[in-house]
Structure 1
Amino acid sequence: MMTGSTLRKVKSRMWKRQRHFRLLEDGLTIWYKSRWAGKGHSTFSVTEVEAVREGHQSEVLLSIAQEFPAELCFTLVFHGRQGNLDLVADSPEEAQAWIQGVRKLNSQGSNDG
């Protein structure tokens, strides 16, 4: 996760953009590069993630189910009002690395706090 991966961020059937995601050195912050985020990137803490859902478990990912198989798809569900982050990996292994990684970091982060 620290070396980073290019994942597709999906907002709708028509809006699918590749973004470079990586875990920062603090082990809790995920950074991703986006042209629209002002400074060119966004970050969020894994402690803000309430759940990681595998497969087509969101309306957006269900709408593109024919385009991307379930084993490539996952959703980060955030606490509070922040919208979900629907992502598509290039391989099932990469998807699992992020799913398991965020879950593990999240449980460690919530135990520390």
Structure 2
Amino acid sequence: MQCVRKKPKRSKSQELLHNEQSPNITSVNLQFLGMDGDQDLNFLLKGTELVKVRSASWRKVRFYKLQEDCKTVWHESKKNLRPKHTFSIEDVECVRPGRHTEGLRKYTEETMEMRAFSILFKGHRKNLDLIASTEEEARHWVSGLEKIISNMSKLSQEQRTEQHP
């Protein structure tokens, strides 16, 4: 039986190098997508806490953040055994503002309409139903994700793979 261990953390020098390069990588990727200086994307890059809704009793606060590659969203999870805490924007079919999925209509109050949104994935993956702290946060997430999806769909397959890591 294998032991389950967390990945080793970066050394101080590796962390400093990563922090130096991160804004440069992000800037290059935003320029590549034609979205440099976009307020919604800058908001997503900083990240926010959102409430993930699965049922009437299952609601978890998770930190969500757009990665530096501008095509992957990372989210916090308490499950150490789970291999991936990310999803690709390319796997997202659409983003729906409001309580328009069955789960959000069933498990949230009408007063949350402007703070709620859902990420619908391609294929058989479950929807991701989320509630932001404010209406403004929800607007940033919906608008930012829609812009990335739209701009990425305009890129050819070759251009998508050329995008910087």
Residue pair 1:12, 1:60 contacting (<8 A) in 2 also? yes
| Greater strand content | 1
| Greater helix content | 2
- Of residues 36-45 and 49-58 in structure 1, the stretch that sits farther from structure 2 once superposed is 36-45
What residue is the counterpart of 1:65 in the other structure? 108
TM-score (norm 2): 0.64
Residue number among 126, 129, 134 corresponding to 1:83 in the alignment: 126
The 1:67/1:15 distance shift into structure 2, 3 A limit, reads farther
Which ranges of structure 1 fall in alignment gaps of 5 or more residues?
A: none
- 1:43 maps onto 2:86 in alignment: yes
Equivalent residue letter for 1:24: Q
The 1:93/1:40 distance shift into structure 2, 3 A limit, reads farther
> Deviation at 1:108?
1.3
User: How far apart, CA to CA, are the structure 2 residues paired with 1:57 and 1:37?
Assistant: 32
Larger radius of gyration: 2
Residue pair 2:45, 2:65 contacting (<8 A) in 1 also? yes
Equivalent residue letter for 1:29: T
Moved over 3 A (4+): none
TM-score (norm 1): 0.92
SS in 2 for 1:35: coil
Instruction: Give the number of the structure with larger relative contact order, counting CA–CA contacts within 8 Å between residues 6 or more apart.
Output: 1
